[in-house]
C-alpha cells in the first residue's frame, strides 16, 4: 500500500502550536520505530484487521513518534476515520497529550470533519482534556462559529464552560476574543461564570466590546445585542460605556 504522506503544514494547522518544518511526513518519518510506523500506516489505510493484529502482537496504540505525534493524531491527519475507530477499539487514549502538547481531542475539536470528535467522545474521551503546555481545553479551541458542531458536541458531553487555561482565560474569554457572540451566549446559558477574570483582570466583556459596533456586520451586531440583553436580564453589569 502507498504510504500516507502528510504535509507538515497540515500538522501545524490541525495541531495548533506545533513546531514543524516544511518537509512532508510519512509513517516512517512520523514513527521511527518500525512497529509504530507499521501501526500508523495500517491506521492511515483504514485497515481495521491489521491494526488489531499489530496491537495484539505488541504494537503500542499509545506510542508517540517524532515531535511526540500520537497514533490517533496521525490517523486523523491521514483523514482515516476507520483508522481512528480501530485505534480507539484497541486501546488508544484520546486524552493523552501528543504533538505540541495537544491531545487528539484538541485536534478533533478543530478538524474540518466533526465525526472525529464524535468518535473520540463515544470512546469516553475527556471533554476537559488540558493542553499540556497552555492548559487550554477543547471547548476553548472550538469556540468559533466554524466549529459549531464540535462546540455543541463538547457541551453535550459535559465540557466545563468555566475551565480556564494557564493564563486564566475561559472558553467565554476565547469566544469573546473571536467576536463569536453566538458561542458566548451558549456558554452563558450553559452556566459559564460571566464575571470570571483572567490573570490580567479581564472579563470576557473586555474582549467582546473591543471591536466597535460599527465595525460589525448586521448579524454580528444582532448577536452581540442578544448577549447584552442576556446580561441585563441577569443583572450583570455591561462593561461598555455606549450601553
pLDDT in tens, 159-197: 999 999 999 999 999 999 999 999 999 999 999 999 999
Q: Is pLDDT of 5 > 80?
A: no
CATH architecture of 1-136: Alpha Horseshoe (1.25)
Pick the CATH number of 160-243 from 1.25.40.20, 3.10.180.10, 3.40.50.2300, 3.40.33.10: 1.25.40.20
Query: What local confidence, expressed as pLDDT, does residue 13 receive?
Result: 45
Share of the chain above pLDDT 90, in %: 88
Report residue 240's pLDDT band, with 50, 70 and 90 as the boundaries. Answer: confident
Query: What local confidence, expressed as pLDDT, does residue 86 receive?
Result: 99
Q: Is pLDDT of 200 > 60?
A: yes
Q: Is pLDDT of 32 > 50?
A: yes
All cell numbers assigned to 38:
507499521
pLDDT in tens, 68-121: 999 999 999 999 999 999 999 999 999 999 999 999 999 999 999 999 999 999
> Which residue ranges make up each domain of the chain?
1-136, 160-243
Amino acid at each position: 500500500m502507498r504510504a500516507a504522506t502528510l504535509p507538515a503544514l497540515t500538522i501545524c494547522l490541525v495541531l495548533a502550536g506545533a513546531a514543524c518544518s516544511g518537509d512532508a511526513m510519512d509513517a516512517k518519518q512520523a514513527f521511527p520505530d518500525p512497529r509504530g510506523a507499521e501501526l500508523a500506516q495500517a491506521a492511515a489505510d483504514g485497515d481495521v484487521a491489521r491494526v488489531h493484529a499489530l496491537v495484539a502482537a505488541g504494537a503500542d496504540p499509545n506510542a508517540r513518534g517524532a515531535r511526540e505525534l500520537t497514533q490517533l493524531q496521525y490517523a486523523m491527519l491521514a483523514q482515516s476515520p476507520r483508522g481512528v475507530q480501530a485505534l480507539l477499539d484497541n486501546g488508544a487514549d484520546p486524552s493523552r497529550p501528543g504533538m505540541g502538547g495537544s491531545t487528539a481531542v484538541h485536534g478533533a475539536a478543530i478538524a474540518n470533519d466533526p465525526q472525529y470528535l464524535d468518535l473520540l467522545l463515544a470512546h469516553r474521551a475527556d471533554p476537559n482534556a488540558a493542553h499540556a503546555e497552555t492548559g487550554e481545553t477543547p471547548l476553548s479551541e472550538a469556540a468559533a462559529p466554524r466549529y459549531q458542531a464540535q462546540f455543541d458536541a463538547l457541551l453535550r458531553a459535559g465540557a466545563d464552560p468555566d475551565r480556564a487555561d494557564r493564563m486564566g482565560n475561559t472558553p467565554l474569554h476565547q469566544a469573546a476574543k473571536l467576536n463569536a457572540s453566538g458561542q458566548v451566549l451558549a456558554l452563558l446559558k450553559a452556566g459559564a461564570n460571566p464575571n470570571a477574570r483572567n490573570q490580567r483582570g479581564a472579563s470576557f466583556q473586555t474582549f467582546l466590546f473591543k471591536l466597535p459596533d460599527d465595525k460589525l456586520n448586521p448579524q454580528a451586531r444582532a448577536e452581540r445585542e442578544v448577549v447584552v440583553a442576556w446580561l441585563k436580564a441577569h443583572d450583570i453589569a455591561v462593561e461598555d460605556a455606549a450601553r
